[in-house]
Amino acid sequence: MAKQMEKMPQYIEEFRKRLHKGEEKELERQARVKTLVEEARDYYGYDVDPRDPRFQEMVERKEEEAKLEKKKKKKEQKKAQTLSAMLALQEQAKKEKEAAEKEAVES
């Protein structure tokens, strides 16, 4: 029992950290909803309740657009990576060819 009581301050600190982390997540969620409500107001021209189906549709549409944008960026990065790898291989082949020609001339 005494060992557990010695660890009590550590447990309390861990609990407070978890509690603080949960509060931060809730604040982030509230800020996100507020931003989305403002965007909906700008889009529709009037205040929209977050429970309104039109608001939900707008949120889903924005999430889909973000998902497509992320996918597009990933595809572009992969394309650039492939291109750079091909250029590196081409450069390596060119160097090997030059080395082979130089060796052929020397012999």
For residue 42, how many C-alpha atoms fall within 13 Å in the half-sphere facing its CB? 6
pLDDT at 10 (0 to 100):
93
First to last CA, the chain: 86
Helix, strand, or coil (residue 45)? coil
CA 37/CA 48 separation, integer angstroms: 7
CA dihedral sign of residues 78, 79, 80, 81: positive
Residues 62-80: tens digit of each pLDDT: 999 999 999 999 999 999 9
* pLDDT given for residue 107 in this prediction: 67
Q: Return the pLDDT at 1.
A: 79
Mind listing the pLDDT tens digit for each residue in 5-42? Answer: 889 999 999 999 999 999 999 999 999 999 999 988 88
Residue pair 48/40 in contact by the 8 Å Cβ criterion: yes
State if pTM tops 0.75. Answer: no
